[in-house]
Amino acid sequence: MKRTGRVPFMRLQIGFWVLVAFGLLLWGTFQSGSLKFFGREDKIHLVFESVGGLEEGATVRLNGVPIGHVRDISLARGGNEVVVELGVKRGTRDRLHRGSTARITSTGFLAELYVELEGGDPHQPLIQDDHEIVVSSAPDPNAAMKKVAAITDSLTILLGNLNRAGRALGNGRGTIGRLAQDERLYEQLVELSRNANVLTARLNENQSRVSAQFLSLAASLDTLVQKMEKGNGTIAQLMNDSTLHQKLASSTARADSILGAIASGKGTFGRLYADSTLYDDTRALMGSMKRLMAEIEKNPKKYFKFSIF
């Protein structure tokens, strides 16, 4: 059987799809950053105590912007520290100043880890060595899982307590359960609300009456004040007539003069006020009267004689 020299159409299709798959594989490899065949990039070496599951090919970000990928992760010579090699875009070093930091983090709890760089203070000089970048250790996923487990246990206990409390309420146990099951409470609350409405209505009525009485009292006081200011009564004359003020002032002056004379010992009242002789004589007289009364009580016949015939 002679060969025609032609390739069957089916084989051409298979070869075409193999080339397409290979091209997609290369494109995905380039996009993931695990390989870099074209262009040059800067290398940054960072030393961490632990990388917490960081893998080669992970993204490197500067202030949140992707700038490269992790190229290599290895242990340091003569120690257990981890050296992470970063492949970043050219010119990245010109954005790193003193105070720059690097940390391993993730966008979510279970998201892929990546390296986050902070450029530091732009007013400070540029870094001269990779060791000037301050690194922070990656979060321990085991510790995070322990925290999640503790929170889960707490939630489980809380839900169990809530279920028991709900069953107790449903069965009418405890104060709240009895309140929830007893319809008399509802009736009492309705009655209390009704009484409160009645009381409020009465208070409003009383308030209206009190307000009216206050207004009447204010009007009466206003009328009284007007009469006192403009009327002809005694109070009006006391308030408006200056003659009374003059008389009161004159009387006050006279009384002050009399009191001054008495205080200085002038006149009969003055001598009584200032001379202590009358006081001493009065005390002596009272003492004599007491002695006389005592003698009369002891021997009344000496002072009183009675005769019928």
What local confidence, expressed as pLDDT, does residue 1 receive?
46
Q: Among the listed ranges 55-64, 195-204, 232-241, 276-285, which one has the minimum average pLDDT value?
A: 232-241
Is the confidence at residue 97, as pLDDT, over 80?
yes
The total of other beta-carbon atoms located within 10 Å of residue 213's CB is 10
What local confidence, expressed as pLDDT, does residue 37 receive?
46
Q: What is the dihedral sign for C-alpha 167, 173, 178, 183?
A: positive
Is the confidence at residue 138, as pLDDT, over 80?
no
> Domain spans of the chain?
40-139
Cα atoms in the 13 Å half-sphere on the side-chain side of 47: 10
What local confidence, expressed as pLDDT, does residue 88 receive?
92
Give pairs for 125-129: CB < 8 Å, separation 24+.
Answer: 125/97, 125/98, 126/93, 126/94, 126/96, 126/97, 126/98, 127/93, 127/96, 127/97, 127/98, 127/100
Of residues 207 and 103, the one with the higher pLDDT is 103
Angle separating helix axes 267-274 and 242-263, nearest 10 degrees: 50
Is the confidence at residue 304, as pLDDT, over 50?
yes
Is the confidence at residue 222, as pLDDT, over 70?
yes
Q: How far is CA 264 from the centre of its chain?
A: 74
Q: Please, is 284 exposed, middle or buried when counting C-beta atoms within 10 Å of its C-beta (0-12, 13-18, 19+)?
A: exposed
Determine the Cα angle at 29 with ends 25 and 34, to 5°: 155
Is the confidence at residue 132, as pLDDT, over 70?
yes
Q: Among the listed ranges 110-114, 216-220, 268-272, which one has the minimum average pLDDT value?
A: 268-272
Q: Rounded to the nearest 5°, which phi and psi values hold at 291? A: -65, -40
Mean of per-residue pLDDT scores for the chain: 76
Closest CA to 141 of 231, 9, 53, 73: 53
Is the confidence at residue 69, as pLDDT, over 90?
yes
